[in-house]
Amino acid sequence: MIRQATAQAHPNIAFIKYWGNRDERLRLPANPSFSMNLGALRTIARVTFLEEEGPDALVLNGVSVEGPARDRVEAFLDHVRRMAGHRGRAVVESQTDIPTGVGLASSAAAFAALAVAAAAALDLPLSERELSILARLGSGSACRSVPPGFVEWVVGERHEDSYAYSVAPPEHWALWDVIAVVSEQPKAVGSSEGHRRAATSPLHPFRVATAPERVARCREAVLRRDFDALAEIVETDAIWMHAVMMTSRPPLFYWEPATIAVLLAVRRWREEGLPVAFTLDAGPNVHLLCPAEAADAVARRLEGVPGVRRVLRSGPGGGAQRVSNGGTDRVGIGRIHPEIQVEQR
Name the residues that contact ligand PMV, by CB under 6 A: 14, 17-19, 33, 105, 107-108, 139-141, 191-192, 195, 281-282
Nearer to ligand PMV, 17 or 46 (CB): 17
**Nearest distance, CB of residue 103 and ligand PMV, angstroms:** 8
Nearer to ligand PMV, 80 or 108 (CB): 108
Nearer to ligand PMV, 19 or 163 (CB): 19
CA 19 to chain centre: 13
**Nearest distance, CB of residue 105 and ligand PMV, angstroms:** 4
Contact criterion met (CB below 8 Å) for 6 and 45: yes
Nearer to ligand PMV, 29 or 170 (CB): 29
3-class DSSP assignment, residue 186: coil
**Nearest distance, CB of residue 240 and ligand PMV, angstroms:** 12
- Distance CA(115)–CA(321), nearest Å, equals 10
Q: Which residues contact 279 (CB under 8 A, 6 or more apart)?
A: 13, 14, 15, 17, 234, 235, 237, 238, 286, 287, 289
β 321-323/341-344 pair status? unpaired
Give the chain's end-to-end CA distance (angstroms, integer). Answer: 50
**Nearest distance, CB of residue 241 and ligand PMV, angstroms:** 7
CA distances 74 to 47, 54, 88, 92, 196, Å, are: 12, 10, 12, 10, 22
**Nearest distance, CB of residue 86 and ligand PMV, angstroms:** 26
**Nearest distance, CB of residue 335 and ligand PMV, angstroms:** 25
**Nearest distance, CB of residue 309 and ligand PMV, angstroms:** 20
Nearer to ligand PMV, 140 or 316 (CB): 140
Nearer to ligand PMV, 88 or 156 (CB): 156
Nearer to ligand PMV, 17 or 301 (CB): 17
Contact criterion met (CB below 8 Å) for 51 and 1: yes
β 321-323/3-9 pair status? antiparallel
- Distance CA(177)–CA(229), nearest Å, equals 17
3-class DSSP assignment, residue 131: helix
**Nearest distance, CB of residue 211 and ligand PMV, angstroms:** 11
Nearer to ligand PMV, 84 or 239 (CB): 239
CB atoms within 10 A of CB 322: 16
- Distance CA(184)–CA(186), nearest Å, equals 6
